[in-house]
Structure 1
Amino acid sequence: MTVCNLYYSHPLLIQLASSFGVSYTDVANIPTLTQAGYATGLLLIAPLGDLVPRRPLLLVLLLCSSTLSIGLAMAPNVRMFEGLTYIVGVFTVTPQILVPLAADLAPPERRATAMSIVMSGLLLGILFARVIAGAVADYTTSDISTGGGWRNVYWLAFSIQAFMWFVLWAVIPDWPAKNRGTGLTYGGILWTMAKLAVTEPLLVQCSIIGLLSSAVFTSFWVTLTFILGGPPYNYSTVTIGLFGLIGIVGVVFALVCGRLVDRFGNAWLWTLAAILFMTVFQAIMTGAGGIHVAAVIVVVFGLDAGGQMQQISNVARIYTISQEARARLNAVFVISAFIGQVLGTQAGTRVYEAGGWRASGGLSLGWLGAMLVVLLARGPRCPKDKWIGGWRVSPEDKEARKIDEETNETVDAATKEQ
């Protein structure tokens, strides 16, 4: 429910522009600022999952994000709304504390499945945000302003998060802090996170792929609001929001993908399949998205499912780097993803305004091509310490891979005993 904060505004952009008396380009900054705030929280707050007990951290974050939603509901102008949107994004990192926690609690043979369950919850939150925001904004009126019912969306956001605070307080165990007694400090966490981001080839590869995938995903959803709100569709805000329901199929697909990764392994191949899957559906959108609504419906399913497949397979890959640094590894990966969302929102909107839906679709196809190049640069047999190759296994590479596997097995066994 907290991840909804990042996506409530997507189906509301037209109504927000009308309410505040600004252009579409101005309101396009709102999801950008939310994503930038989220990236800030990922950089400065999410790594604390490797340092402090996670129960109090989760409760404080949820309290802050729910309280700030009141300010969004009462914002008198677009500048204040933008500022509060950024701050809400900073504190909406609760899901990224939970994902590494799920990986820590699950046995190695069920790790991808456990992560896919949490990530499916995130996708459900994204879909819920779009649908409920569109419905509430379209069918309710605001007592504070004549600008539409979008304010009630944020009153509802406050209520939901307040309820979830009590749920977390009741069910989240007081799990001990990781790395306790190791001398690790907050500054040390930030330093090691920066070091991991530039010295781990596998993390760099997965982060670049995640960045570009998020750019494709966000560009699609932001520009879709304008496509469906204009000719030939001219749909209402609530109808646009209902398109999010189609992505529920992607939730089911994410659960299946997690089980497949656990059962068959080789997450590299699943990443390749995800990129090819997304490319096919993005090509459909580029060719027919502005002509017939059936194309849009098919693409909503395809991009949601492909995006989930990409994220689960890549997270499964990076979590093999270090069991003790999973919060930091996850933070680097998700920061990259949200930089991609900022890129997708800004570039996608500007290209759409300049050249229409086919131009923005062509941009996304270019990003997907870059993802494929980055993935192929490090093949499925590439050792963790190599930046390129992995299509043939040399004796040295075999030895390096054997050491990697033995190290991971030792760490997993120690974790299981604890």
Structure 2
Amino acid sequence: MSTLSAGTTTWSSIAGVPPSSNIRPSTYQFDFGFLPIPKRLRYHPSKPFYFGTLLNVFFGVCATLVSANLYYCQPILIQLSDSFSVTYDEVSRIPTLVQAGYGIGLLTICPMGDMLRRRGLILFLVSCSTLFTIGLAVTKNLRVFEAMSFFVGFTSISQQIFLPLAADLVPPERRASAISVVASGILLGILVARVLAGVVANFVSWRYVYWMSVGIQGVVLIGSYLVLPDYPANNRELSYIDMFRSMAKFMVKEPLVVQAVLINLAASACYTNFWVTLTFLLSGPPYHYSTISIGLFGFLGILGVVVVPLMGRVIDRMDPWHVTMVATLFLIIFQAVQTAAGGVEVAAVIIVSFGLDVARQTQQVSLSTLVFRISEMARSRLNSLLLLAVFLGQVTGTSAGTVVFVNYGWRANAFLAMGLFAFQLCVLLLRGPHCPRQRWVGWQGGLSMRTKIGSAEVLGQASGSANDCEKANTI
């Protein structure tokens, strides 16, 4: 991989075109060998794509609509139980199977974004998830429904292909903003799915929820065909086995990846713990809120969706490490409010609900921006590692938080989260903002808060990591 000299930035790098011989110079004319790619969307090395605001918003909307597939089932479990004539315990397996499929997809499919054309991969995944959703809408057998639910989760990962693709296409000085738009879209998908499914199932059969999903995915599929630029594979020589080998290599040889994974895991556990146990907190004394009232707290997520892209602009102007530090400190502050007053004052719960949402999403975007600097040729694999940490954190936070809350109460559960937030701060402080790439502990390089896009510091990190992996024949 070629290395740019300090202070130089070529047009190809600004346009998100990695300077590597691994990228195919030829232009594909067909998707899947038979479906013509619109000429304006075909890749030309001499004419890099312009990643503007409209295309960024399109990525975010697609991320919202695809991620919604993972949550349609949650508000309609009672209707599913009645329709299949089974107990609530049996039907409760469905959300678990969806999330299990999603987790396996993150591990086995998302990293393939580094070895395949992203346009073709996205079109294929959306087509598959649409077909499996049709199965959900028509089947009358619970076992078939469970199997289809697993495969819907397994193939509904296109949003996690869009995210590193946005990082590849956007100019470096706008990377965090672009990532934040897609990340906000993913967050919005959770709320959209629950609201739409609840409203539709309240008036008509639950099957119409999935027919609606089929139509929505059809719109995403057609829109992606007409709008999504064709971008060549970053690593055409990479094998499937080498893909996993390189991911393992990142986890043992890249201190920044390990640091970000640990922070993401702990933060995700805290975040999920809060929202899962919030129902228990608000339904019990002293609040005794109804299900509808508790559900309204979810709308605070909309405010988070609006604010996080604005925070992306801040990350673009500051070093992401400092933004991660500020976000982590705010997470600790909001959790302290929850620990002190969450069980006695609803105003505290409202403040914490909004504050945790914004601070956590800001932290996740800044961590992604940091990690994506390591290798522009491996962003899909790096993204998969970060997301697997988030997924494991969600599982841990749900199980541990529920056990602690039920057995020891809300304040003990809040102290558990406080301890995990303190752990994140300790992990972050082990390495300073400009610590050399291969050092596990240290504060060398100063404390400058300004990002240095195009400098030897940033570009040297990327090229150095990529070259290390190239020598091992993994990239």
TM-score by length of 2: 0.74
Counterpart CA distance in 2 for 1:391 and 1:407 is 15
2:219 alignment partner, one of 154, 163, 166 = 163
Matches of 1:278 and 1:17, distance apart in 2? 38
**Which residue type is aligned with residue 100 of structure 1?**
P
Q: Measured at CA, do residues 22 and 190 of structure 1 come closer, stay the same or move farther in structure 2, by a change above 3 Å?
A: same
- Paired residue for 2:334? 281
Indicate the residue corresponding to 1:251 in structure 2. Answer: 305
- The residue aligned with 1:129 is 193
1:377 to 419, 430, 445: 430
Whether the aligned pair in 2 keeps the contact of 1:131 and 1:242 (CA below 8 Å) is no
Q: Does 1:53 align with 2:117?
A: yes
* Equivalent residue, structure 2, for 1:339: 392
The Cα shift of 1:46 comes to 0.7
User: In structure 2, what is the equivalent of residue 189 of structure 1?
Assistant: 243
- 1:120, distance to aligned residue in structure 2 (A): 1.7
Q: 1:368 to 1:245 in 2, by over 3 A?
A: same
One-letter amino acid matched to 1:222: V
Q: 1:233 aligns with which of 279, 284, 288?
A: 288
Query: Counting helix residues as a fraction of each chain, which structure ranks higher?
Result: 1
Q: Contact (CA 8 Å) 1:209, 1:371: kept in 2 or not?
A: yes
Paired residue secondary structure (1:97): helix
Q: More deviation in 163-172 or 313-322?
A: 163-172
For residues 46 and 53 of structure 1, the distance between their equivalents in structure 2, rounded to whole angstroms, comes to: 12
Call closer, same or farther: CA 1:317–1:355 in 2, change over 3 Å: same
Q: Which moved more, 1:26-35 or 1:241-250?
A: 26-35
Residue 263 in structure 1 maps to residue 317 in structure 2: yes
Match in the other structure for 2:366: 313
Once the two structures are TM-superposed, the CA of residue 122 in structure 1 deviates from its matched residue by: 1.4
The reply to whether residue 364 of structure 1 matches residue 417 of structure 2 is yes
- Give, in angstroms, the shift of residue 311 of structure 1: 0.8
Q: Deviations over 1:13-38 (max 9, x none)?
A: 67767884235xx7766544433322
Q: Which has the larger radius of gyration?
A: 2
Give how far 1:358 is off. 3.2
- Within 1, Cα distance between the matches of 2:136 and 2:192? 19
Partner of 2:376: 323
Q: How many residue pairs end up in the alignment?
A: 389
Cα-to-partner distance string for 1:346-400 (whole Å, 9 max, x where unaligned) = 222333333343343332222212111211122223211111122676xxxxxxx
Indicate how the Cα distance of structure 1 residues 313 and 74 shifts in structure 2: closer, same or farther if over 3 A, else same.
same
Match of 1:198 in 2: 252
AA matched with 1:118: V
1:154 Cα deviation (Å)? 3.5
Aligned to 2:106: 42
1:415 aligns with none
Give the whole-Å Cα distance in 2 for the aligned partners of 1:80 and 1:365.
42
Q: Distance in 2 between matches of 1:69 and 1:12?
A: 15
Q: Give the aligned residue type for 1:203.
A: V
**Structure 2 segments unaligned to the other structure (5+ residues):** 1-64, 447-454, 465-475
Q: Which runs of 5+ in 1 are unaligned?
A: 143-148, 394-401, 412-418
Could you give the per-residue CA deviations for residues 257-303 of structure 1, whole angstroms, max 9, x where no partner exists? 11111112x21111111112122223333444444443332222111
Note the C-alpha offset of 1:179.
Answer: 2.2
> What is the alpha-carbon distance in structure 2 between the residues aligned to residue 124 and residue 342 of structure 1?
20
Counterpart among 267, 276, 294 of residue 347 in structure 2: 294
Q: Letter of the 2:302 partner, please give it.
A: I
Distance 1:288 1:32, change over 3 A: farther
Q: 1-side partners of 2:122 and 2:322: how far apart? A: 34
2:177 is matched with 113
Alpha carbons 1:134, 1:242 under 8 Å: kept: no
Letter in 2 for 1:258: G
> Is the deviation greater in 368-377 or in 85-94?
85-94
The CA distance in 2 between the partners of 1:175 and 1:162, in whole Å, is: 22
Matching residue of 1:212: 266
Specify whether residues 85 and 355 from structure 1 end up closer, same or farther in structure 2 by C-alpha distance, changes over 3 A only: farther
- SS across alignment from 1:125: helix
Give the drift of 1:64: 1.9
Please tell me whether residue 178 in structure 1 is matched to residue 241 in structure 2.
no
Query: Residue 397 of structure 1 corresponds to which residue in structure 2?
Result: none
**What is residue 7 of structure 1 aligned with on the other side?**
71
Report if aligned partners of 2:376, 2:462 keep a CA contact under 8 Å in 1.
Answer: no
2-structure distance, mates of 1:42, 1:275: 25
Which moves more between the two structures, 277-286 or 105-114? Answer: 277-286
Contact 1:381 1:391 in 2 (8 A): yes
Contact 2:132 / 2:152 at 8 angstroms: preserved in 1? Answer: yes
Describe the shift of the 1:409–1:353 C-alpha distance in structure 2 as closer, same or farther (beyond 3 A).
Answer: closer
CA–CA distance in structure 1, aligned partners of residues 107 and 120 of structure 2: 19
Partner residue, 1:102: 166
Q: Tell me the distance in 2 between the aligned counterparts of 1:22 and 1:388.
A: 49
Give CA-to-partner distance per residue, 1:218-261, whole Å, 9 cap, x none.
2222223444455633423x544432221122122211111111
1:21 paired to 2:77: no
Give the Cα–Cα distance (whole angstroms) in 2 for the partners of residues 243 and 351 of structure 1. Answer: 22
